[in-house]
């Protein structure tokens, strides 16, 4: 990030706007949303600014401009519309040490004005560091549609009731209360204009501690998808944003972790270098312990939490401890890998059966996947890179080398993704020679009628 978003306190602080035309008026409109004291520097004012001066809402100075006038300001906007004058005024403002924004001259700006979605006191600021203002406006439009106009009033009401809630309810009950307020009936009531009913409900809930929040599960086993953060589900994002602690796997992409709350604890429970040693029973133990402390726990797993992820063992531990859980599915690697290769897991009349299998089982053997490789079947082998010689040997023993197509998709959805095809008799050699890295899916497809079935692959 070359710029960093912050919310400045503006109440009672000075903002100086140099310029008396439309550009200055635009900045003035923006800052009038705050409680800052605005001074306009200009020899003459356009009509809107003049009426604001007449109403006493802003002040106007026609004095000679020296650095002193920019002193002790929260912000300075330079908006005369004349690049030469703007540059000179910028220099004066900088002499005074002011944080300065020069309209349309990003290289002269200390601070850039974001696109704003205003539901005061809820404010969303969108910035693209000047790279894509149109994109910022599109995002703003989407947010404007998603955040109901009255949302700010509801947030303000919550703000007024915070102290009372703190007196009446413990920390966990309070978190549940606010989740219910913003995710349940009060928000729905408020959004449709029944503001009094919403307020009544919230106040009653604070007094009685009785509100109909659907008790959330203690632990959510969440699928992070194959890596790209736009291949995660909306529900998964929601759980991540609610989580107090996220236990994640080594293969979970850092981009996806960014979707968690900033103050959420993040613990890597991967089993590779860089992470501590996390045997499964230790992972089970920390999940149970965190949930028992009343934390909202997300166990974030790559792909789908139900596919080769030892989720069943974690759930068994949670059940044993009497804890509730929820499973949030994700895009499994085989789906993502097929899509990357421009193909499908099944294709009517050609591949009617899909088998998901693994190159490594608990006892370090390769499962008897070969028995499933009937005609018209596609086997997706997870964790198969190291088992490639064994896979090839199994095909040879079953006399299926000639009938089986091979497609290897490595790092699907990541920048280094690759797609490789080869003859089945060259499987192990291809992986070794091309040094195809983990994580990868090896698709082995037995043709239904002897014709190639993966002709559509976009290699």
Task: Give the whole-angstrom CA distance, residue 338 versus residue 346.
Answer: 10
Rounded distance, CA 78 to CA 62, Å?
15
CA distance 296 to 414: 29
d(CA 292, CA 284): 12
Tell which one of 39, 332, 377, 430 touches ligand SAH (CB under 6 A).
Answer: 332
Our CA dihedral for 392, 343, 447, 408, rounded to 10 degrees, sits at: -10
Contacting ligand SAH (CB under 6 A), which of 370, 440, 444, 454? Answer: 440
* 307 is a site residue for ligand SAH (CB under 6 A): yes
Q: 308 or 325: whose CB is closer to ligand SAH?
A: 308
153 binds ligand SAH (CB under 6 A): no
By the rule CB under 6 A, 337 interacts with ligand SAH:
yes
Task: Please pick, from the candidates 244, 304, 314, 394, the single residue that binds ligand SAH as defined by CB under 6 A.
Answer: 304
412 binds ligand SAH (CB under 6 A): yes
Helical segments of 231-377, H only: 234-242, 254-257, 280-292, 311-320, 333-340
Name which of 100 and 335 has its Cβ closer to ligand SAH. Answer: 335
CB nearer ligand SAH, residue 174 or residue 414: 414
Stretch that binds ligand SAH, among 86-94, 107-115, 269-277, 332-340 (CB under 6 A): 332-340
Q: Verify binding: residue 341, ligand SAH, rule CB under 6 A.
A: no
Question: 166 with 174: CB under 8 angstroms?
Answer: yes
Total residue count of the chain as it appears in this document = 459
- CA 165 from chain centre, in angstroms, equals 30
List, by residue number, the catalytic residues.
Answer: 249, 271
Q: 369: which DSSP letter?
A: G
Give the residue with the Cβ less far from ligand SAH, 69 or 440.
Answer: 440
Q: Which residues pair with 102 in a beta bridge?
A: 78
Binder among 409, 431, 447, 453 for ligand SAH (CB under 6 A): 409
Contact call for residue 298 and ligand SAH (CB under 6 A): no
Q: Residue 376 interacts with ligand SAH (CB under 6 A)?
A: no
382 touching ligand SAH, by CB under 6 A: yes
- For the bound state, the minimum distance from the C-beta of residue 267 to ligand SAH, rounded and expressed in Å, comes to 18
Is residue 217 involved in binding ligand SAH (CB under 6 A)?
no
H or E element, residue 421: strand 418-423
* Strand spans (E) along 338-387: 353-358, 377-382
Residue with tokens 């300065």: 100
- Which residue carries 């005074």 as its tokens? 96
Give the contact letters, 222-241, x = binds to ligand SAH (CB under 6 A), - = no. Answer: ----xx--------------
Residues paired with 40 in a beta bridge:
17, 60
> Closer CB to ligand SAH, residue 153 or residue 304?
304
Total residues interacting with ligand SAH, rule: CB under 6 A: 24
Binding ligand SAH by CB under 6 A: which of 17, 58, 117, 383? 383
Residues within window 247-286 making contact with ligand SAH, judged by CB under 6 A:
251
Q: How far is the CB of 419 from ligand SAH (least distance, A)?
A: 11
**Residues 75, 89, 413, 446: which binds ligand SAH (CB under 6 A)?**
413
Q: Looking only at Cα atoms, what is the longest distance across the chain?
A: 94
Minimum CB distance to ligand SAH smaller for 43 or for 415: 415
Tell me which of 441, 444, 454, 457 binds ligand SAH, using CB under 6 A. 441
What are the helix (H) ranges across 214-264?
234-242, 254-257
- Compute the distance between CA of residue 144 and CA of residue 151 in angstroms, rounded to an integer: 11
Q: Does 303 bind ligand SAH (CB under 6 A)?
A: yes
Is the bond into 219 cis (omega within 30 degrees of 0)? no
65 lies in the site for ligand SAH, by CB under 6 A: no
439 lies in the binding site for ligand SAH (CB under 6 A) = yes
Closest residue (Cβ) to ligand SAH? 303
Cβ-based burial of 412 (10 A; exposed 0-12, middle 13-18, buried ≥19): buried
| Strand, coil or helix: 177 | helix
Does position 211 interact with ligand SAH (CB under 6 A)? The reply is: no
Whether 394 contacts 419, CB under 8 Å: no
Residues 17 and 40: their CA atoms lie apart, in Å, by 5
Where on the chain is the footprint of ligand SAH (CB under 6 A)? 226-227, 251, 301-304, 307-309, 332-333, 337, 382-383, 409, 411-414, 438-441
């Amino acid at each position: 990030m070359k710029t960093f978003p912050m919310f400045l306190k503006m109440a009672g602080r000075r903002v100086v706007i140099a310029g008396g035309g439309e550009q200055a008026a635009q900045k003035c409109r923006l800052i009038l949303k705050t409680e800052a004291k605005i001074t306009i520097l200009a020899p003459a004012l356009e009509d809107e600014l003049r009426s604001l001066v007449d109403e006493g809402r802003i002040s106007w100075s026609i004095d000679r401009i020296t650095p002193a006038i920019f002193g002790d300001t929260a912000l300075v906007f330079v908006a005369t519309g004349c690049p030469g004058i703007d540059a000179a005024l910028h220099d004066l403002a900088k002499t005074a040490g002011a944080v300065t924004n020069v309209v349309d001259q990003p290289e002269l700006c200390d601070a850039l004005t974001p696109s704003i979605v205003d539901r005061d006191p809820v404010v969303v600021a969108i910035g693209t560091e000047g790279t894509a203002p149109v994109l910022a406006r599109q995002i703003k439009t989407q947010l404007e549609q998603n955040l109901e106009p009255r949302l700010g009033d509801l947030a303000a009401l919550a703000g007024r009731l915070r102290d009372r809630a703190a007196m009446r309810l413990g920390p966990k009950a309070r978190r549940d209360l606010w989740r219910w307020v913003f995710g349940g009936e009060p928000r729905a009531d408020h959004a449709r204009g029944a503001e009094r009913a919403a307020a009544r409900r919230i106040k009653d809930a604070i007094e009685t501690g009785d509100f109909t929040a659907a008790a959330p599960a203690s632990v959510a086993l969440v699928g992070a998808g194959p890596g790209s953060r736009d291949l995660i589900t909306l529900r998964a994002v929601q759980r991540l944003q609610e989580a107090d602690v996220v236990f994640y796997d080594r293969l979970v992409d850092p981009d996806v972790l960014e979707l968690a709350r900033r103050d959420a604890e993040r613990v890597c429970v991967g089993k590779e270098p860089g992470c501590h040693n996390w045997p499964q029973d230790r992972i089970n133990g920390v999940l149970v312990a965190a949930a028992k402390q009343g934390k909202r726990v997300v166990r974030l797993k790559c792909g789908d939490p139900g596919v080769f992820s030892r989720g069943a063992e974690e759930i068994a531990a949670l059940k044993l401890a009497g804890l509730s859980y929820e499973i949030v599915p994700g895009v499994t690697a085989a789906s993502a890998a097929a899509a990357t290769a421009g193909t499908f897991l099944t294709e009517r009349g050609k591949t009617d059966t899909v088998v998901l299998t693994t190159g490594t089982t608990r006892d370090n053997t390769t499962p008897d996947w070969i028995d499933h490789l009937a005609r018209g079947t596609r086997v997706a082998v997870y964790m198969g890179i190291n088992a490639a010689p064994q896979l090839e040997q199994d095909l040879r023993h079953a006399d299926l080398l000639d009938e089986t197509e091979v497609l290897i998709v490595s790092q699907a959805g990541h920048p280094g993704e690759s797609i490789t095809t080869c003859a089945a008799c060259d499987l192990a050699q291809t992986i070794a020679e091309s040094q195809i890295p983990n994580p990868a899916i090896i698709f082995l497809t037995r043709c239904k009628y002897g014709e190639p079935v993966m002709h559509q692959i976009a290699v």
